[in-house]
Amino acid sequence: MKSTKDFVKMKNEGKKIVMVTAYDYPSAKQAEQAEVDMILVGDSLGNVVLGYDSTIYVTMEDMIHHAKAVKRGAGNTFVVVDMPFMSCHLSIRDTLINGARILQETGAQAVKIEGADEVLPHIEALVKAGIPVMSHLGLTPQSAAVLGGYKVQGKDAEAAKKIVEDAKCCQEAGAYAITLECIPKQLAQEITSSVEIPTIGIGAGVQTDGQVLVYHDILTYGVERVSKFVKPYANVNEPMINALKAYAAEVRNEIFPDDQHSFTMKEEELKTLYG
């Protein structure tokens, strides 16, 4: 399994870091078989798995429940778990309890926290306690209501400067990497060269040190609409629905189960049973 040190080394050697989300045993197993460098148990769980329209409904219990399954499927891959809405904003003590629960109860390697400013002391406390933290800047879905929706961030010079400063502060607080979501590619490049820790982009262009995408978006699995920055590499929706339809039709027409999929009794046993 790679370590936080390996990710810095990859940045320095110009080797791209591949990250994908996973939410359960099969998706984690597939991600590990695909030899990704890092798996994120994202709170996008709320959208793509639990059917909410926002990540703010995702709880600590949800994250732990799913992260445990991910770790069972990907025991040899570095797993990062999102700290859900408001789980690192109350007291430092609450943050430490939540961070420790995620690592101890799931076996994950790190946590991810959205934002800078008010969460910086929390990042610092977690890292000092031995819990690796990945930061997440740009579009931070947990604060979409304050940002005014899901929009590209840092488009004007003032906003861009603030994100560069935030990235430096996150590094200073001890973050081992930074996710950059939905920002202009030029800004992502500037941040990437301004910090020593790796940047992982999603909708942030090709110049970041790595990329992350949501499992369901890559596969077009259960999702209807995807963002501009998503490239679907397969459409598993169609074959899956077709398989379910074929099953339904065969049940209705008594084609399934046929003899090949049924158990049977020996003739003599039948005679003993019914005479």
List residues with catalytic annotation: 181
| Single residue of 32, 62, 82, 209 touching ligand KIV by CB under 6 A | 82
Nearer to Na ion among residue 24 and residue 82 (C-beta): 82
Vertex 23: Cα angle to 73 and 206 (nearest 5)? 100
Residues 126-165 that bind ligand KIV (CB under 6 A): 136
Residues 16-55 that bind Na ion (CB under 5 A): 42-43
Smallest gap from Cβ 44 to Na ion, in A, equals 5
Q: Does 181 bind ligand KIV (CB under 6 A)?
A: yes
Q: Does 217 bind ligand KIV (CB under 6 A)?
A: no
Residue 44 annotated as part of some ligand binding site: yes
Residues contacting residue 139 through CB under 8 Å, at least 6 positions apart: 147, 150, 151, 152, 153, 181, 182, 183, 203
Q: Does 179 bind ligand KIV (CB under 6 A)?
A: yes
* Nearest one of 204, 175, 203 to 190, comparing CA atoms: 204
Nearer to ligand KIV among residue 21 and residue 95 (C-beta): 21
* Nearest one of 193, 121, 198, 207 to 164, comparing CA atoms: 193
- Cis? peptide before 121, omega within 30° of 0: no
Q: Which residue is nearest to ligand KIV (CB)?
A: 42
Contact by Cβ (8 Å): 91, 50: no
Smallest gap from Cβ 41 to ligand KIV, in A, equals 8
Q: How many residues does the chain have?
A: 275
Residue 262 annotated as part of some ligand binding site: no
Give the span between the Cα atoms of 151 and 19, in whole angstroms: 22
Residues 13-42 that bind ligand KIV (CB under 6 A): 21, 40, 42
Q: Which residues bind ligand KIV (CB under 6 A)?
A: 21, 40, 42-44, 82, 136, 179, 181, 202, 212, 214
